[in-house]
Amino acid sequence: MPDPNFIILYVDNPLRSADFYARLLKKPPIQTSPTFAMFALDSGMMLGLWSKHTVEPTATAAGGGGEIAFSVSSRDIVDELFTDWTQHGLVIGQKPAAMDFGHTFLAFDPDGHRLRVFAPTAP
């Protein structure tokens, strides 16, 4: 069985979402069209942004039903990203906090998709 290597988010406006993710990821999309945009992530994962108005078959899920998680190496990086994302106007759903799995915060993209940054708890 192949490993998953592509995440697709259904978005209202792929070009607007591509601008958001280009700023967030600090890299341009490798493909854009009015109905789709795609990013190649350093991890090898691909991130697609597909117009929820043109998905076939029609998608019924809304943003916020899952999370894209960004694992970082330290609590300090979590706090730095929280400050950076807050200064760039991202809507914050959870301020930095200690949870069972590590130090974390949560933000939202323009379509309500959850973006979690965390530094894992040492084993």
State the pLDDT confidence band at 70, using cuts at 50, 70 and 90.
Answer: very high
Residues forming a β-bridge with 51: 11
Output the 3-class SS for the chain: CCCCCEEEEEECCHHHHHHHHHHHHCCCCCEEECCEEEEECCCCCEEEEEECCCCCCCCCCCCCCCEEEEECCCHHHHHHHHHHHHHCCCEEEEEEEEECCEEEEEEECCCCCEEEEEEECCC
pLDDT of residue 45: 94
State the pLDDT confidence band at 64, using cuts at 50, 70 and 90.
Answer: confident
Q: What is the per-residue pLDDT across 81-101, written as a single tens digit (0 to 9) for each?
A: 999 999 999 999 999 999 999
Prediction pTM value: 0.90
pLDDT of residue 32: 97
